[in-house]
Amino acid sequence: MAIGLLAAIESGRAQSVASYRCADGTHFIVGFYPQDARAFLQIDGGEVTLARRLALSGRRYSGAGVMLTITKDGRTLIRHARRPATVCETL
């Protein structure tokens, strides 16, 4: 499945792609595509599609035990694998 996300990134179909490193050591890549409200994530050696959820400030995506939050002030947090939420920064 990871090949699908990488192929889309390489072909230029992704509107926005970023790599992140988090305070707990987690690394992930997230892609956002035009005309699609979902986030496409590569984390822990797998690919996860996250649906957009209601958020009072910023954007929140979740699915398959993963929650990605991007606040209005630009902070990115991720929670996965029953770990607490952790702050992440782009590489």
Residues 46-86 have pLDDT tens digits of: 999 999 999 998 999 999 999 999 999 999 999 998 899 99
| pLDDT band (50, 70, 90) for residue 15 | confident
Please state the pTM of the whole predicted model. Answer: 0.82
Q: How many domains would you assign to the chain?
A: 1
| CATH number of the domain where residue 29 is located | 2.40.128.200
CB 77 within 8 A of CB 61: no
- Joined together, the tokens standing for residue 47 give 């690919």
Q: Residue 42: give the domain boundaries.
A: 2-90
* Model pLDDT, residue 81: 87
Task: Tell me the C-alpha distance between 88 and 33, whole Å.
Answer: 21
